[in-house]
Amino acid sequence: MLVVLREAWTTLVPDMKDRHGPLPPLMLSLTVVTGLVDAFSFLALGHVFVANMTGNVVLSGFALAGAPEFSPAASLTALGAFVLGALLGGRIAHRVHADRGRLLYLALVSQTGLVLAAYVIAQACGGPFAGGPRYWLIVVLALGMGVQNAAARALKVPDLMTTVLTFTITGMASDSRAAGGSGSKAGSRLLSTVAMLTGALCGALAILHGHPALPLLFAALVLAITTAATFALTRTAGSWTAPLPDRP
């Protein structure tokens, strides 16, 4: 337990001389955003994900099979917009690949603008969201999450991919001492899981007991703070900003 707590602490308060520098806590904040945004999309936009594309593929299968309350058009729209967002994020990553701090900053600026735009649309419509406003919200949010995922992939911070928890949870179990492993990275993996759970919980509570647009406001605030922190950090050069070698 002490090892897990120590790993969690070093993830939240990392050594700036470490290879990933301040990136771990920044990636955790983006994981919270994922929970908030997917809570909004699934609960307020009618059973569709804008960040979890595995879920969208599964939901598309349900819808195509005729299961009620699922829309193939909504899921496929989210998939298409996510791909376009990932394309934009990929262009940013390839253009500034030599500086991971600047890469994250530019991706955050793009994503923050998109989430703010979604909040304005949601606030103006007031809900329930149907027709054109629903699809505009799906497109804008999926674009932003595509950018986020492309940036996270390019940054290559282990176990902190901001939207994918399947491998994270698998790693916690398969690398544990109970499975015969070393039990390493359990702290950071646990934090990633808790971060997404926290975002989803706060987003659901905001929708169920407040206003449906509140999760987007919270997500925009987290993104704005993360963007400001990243901008400040990029002004001080560090080894963490250098690109990592390509994975084999």
pLDDT, residue 238, reads: 81
Residues 141/148, Cβ–Cβ less than 8 Å: no
Per-residue pLDDT of the chain (248 residues; tens, 9 = 90+): 677 788 888 889 988 888 999 999 999 999 999 999 999 999 999 999 999 999 889 999 998 998 888 889 999 999 999 999 999 999 999 999 889 999 999 999 999 999 999 999 999 988 789 889 999 999 999 999 999 999 999 999 988 889 888 888 888 888 877 787 776 678 888 899 999 999 999 999 999 999 999 999 999 999 999 999 999 998 877 889 988 877 54
| Residue/partner pairs of 177-183 with CB below 8 Å, 24 or more apart | 183/3, 183/4
> What is the value of pTM for the model shown?
0.93
Q: Which distant-in-sequence residues (6+ apart) come within 8 Å of 81 by Cβ?
A: 50, 138, 139, 140, 142, 143, 146
**pLDDT of res. 1:** 65
Q: What pLDDT score was predicted for residue 248?
A: 41
Burial of 191-219, coded b for 16+ CB within 10 Å and e otherwise, reads bbbebbeebbebbbebbeeeebbbbbbbb
What does the alpha-carbon distance between residue 59 and residue 70 come to, in Å, rounded to a whole number?
7
Query: How far apart, in whole angstroms, are the C-alpha atoms of residue 76 and residue 118?
Result: 19
| Element at 67 (helix H, strand E) | none
Domain spans in the chain, listed from the N-terminal domain onward: 30-235
Question: What pLDDT sits at residue 184?
Answer: 66
